[in-house]
Structure 1
Amino acid sequence: MMRIDIITCVPSLLTSFFSHSILDRAYRKGYAEVVVHDLRDYSTHKHKQVDDYAFGGGAGMVLKIEPIAAVIRKLQSERSYDEIIYMTPDGARFDQPTANRLSLLKNIILLCGHYKGVDQRVRDLFITREISIGDYVLSGGEIPAAVVADSVIRLIPGVLNDETSALSDSFQDNLLAPPVYTRPAEFEGHKVPEILLSGHEAHIEAWRMEQSLLHTQKRRPDLLKDHNN
C-alpha cells in the first residue's frame, strides 16, 4: 500500500476530499492511504501557534520550524520515506511524468505551505523535492497537495476499474486525449463518428491517434515538440 502523509495547519480543507470517489476506493481496496496531520497538534505554544513574524520585517507570517520538524521526525521514526515534498509556488512544475514517477514510490510526505511559506531551514534540512501546480499563488498548499495525491494514486495499478484508463489520459504521451462519445449514437442530428461504431479495433486506435495529434496541434502545439523528440 502507498501511504501519503499530508502536513497542514488547515486539515479540514482536506479530510472530505479524500473520503470520496477514486481515493476512497483506493483506500478500501488496500492500494493507498492518505493520512492528514494537523500541524497545530505539534505546537508547544499554549495557543497552538504555528507561525510567527519574519525576521527582517515585511508583511505576512511564516510557518515555524519547530512543529514541522516535530511531525516529520515522528513520521520518520515510524517508517522510511521516499520523498518529503514541499508544495510551493516556486517549486518545479508538476506534470504527468512526475506523477508517474511518484506513483512508483511507497511512502511520501506532502508539506503544505501557508501564509508567506515556511522557515527556510525546513527546506534546507528536510525537503527532498519542491513542487508547484502552476504559476500562481493560492492561500495555502492544501489544494496543490490534493491535486498531487489524486493524480498519483489514480495511477496505481488496480485503483481504477479499467487499469488501462490512466495510460490513455492526456499528457501520458505528450498528447491530449481524443474526443470521446457515449450513447445515444445520434443526438438532434449530431452523430458519433462511424469509425467508433465499426468494431474494428485497429482502425479505431488509428483514428484516436490522429484525433489526439490534431487536438494537440490545435490546443497545445508546444507539447508536440516533446512528443516528436
Structure 2
Amino acid sequence: MKILKVLAVLLSYPNINVYKNIDELTEVLKQESLLSKKKIKELLSFIEDYKNKDLLELQERFVATFDRSRIHCLNLFEHIHGESRDRGQAMVDLIDMYAKKNLFIDKKELPDYLPLFLEYLSLCDVQEAITSLGDTVDIIALIGGHLKKNKSPYQIIFFALEELSNIKANQFKVAEAIENSLKEPETLDELDELWQEQEAFSGDSSECSACEINATKN
C-alpha cells in the first residue's frame, strides 16, 4: 500500500529531500484508488499547500503541532500506556513485527512513532495493513479530532487513515477523550507538566478494544 508510505512521509518532519520531490507523492496518490475522490482531493490540496510554503515554515509548523503538544503526539502508545511498564513490552513486540518485514530501526527511534508504523504497514499486504490500521483507529481518530479542533491542516491525513481502516472509531469514546483533555500549554513549564498527566485511553482492553496495536501477529 504505497498510500501509507505517502501518508508516513507527510506526517514526518519536513526535510529538503521530501520538499524537493513532493510531486512524486502526488503521482502515487493519483495511481492508487484506495481512498475516496474527496479524500484524495483533500490530500492533494495539503500537498499543494506544502509546496507553496518555505521549508523552514513547514518545519516550524511541524514542531509546533506535534513536538509541543501531547494531545497531538505521534507516539501511539503515549495515548494508551503513558509511562506504564506495559509500554515497554508493547515496544518490544512492535520491533519484532518490524524485523519480520526487514524493517530495522535505530535504537534512538521509538517503534510506536506513527510515521514509522505506517511505513511498516506499507510493507504488508493490503488486508493485513488495513486490519492492523484498524487496531489503532481510536487513537488515530483522537489525534485527528484534536487537530480538527485546533484547525490544523494535518487533520486531513488522519481522516484519510480513518477511511482506510476496516474498523470505525468509537466516536463516543473519542469525543469524550477530546472533551476531557487538558488545555494546551502556553509555556515550557506547562508543557512539562502536561506530559506528566495520565494517558487519554486506559490500557484496559475492555475499555478500548480497538486502541491497541495488535503486536502478537505471526
**TM-score (norm. length: structure 2):** 0.30
Structure with bigger helix share is 2
Q: Which has the higher contact order (CA 8 A, sep 6+)?
A: 2
- Which has the greater radius of gyration? 1
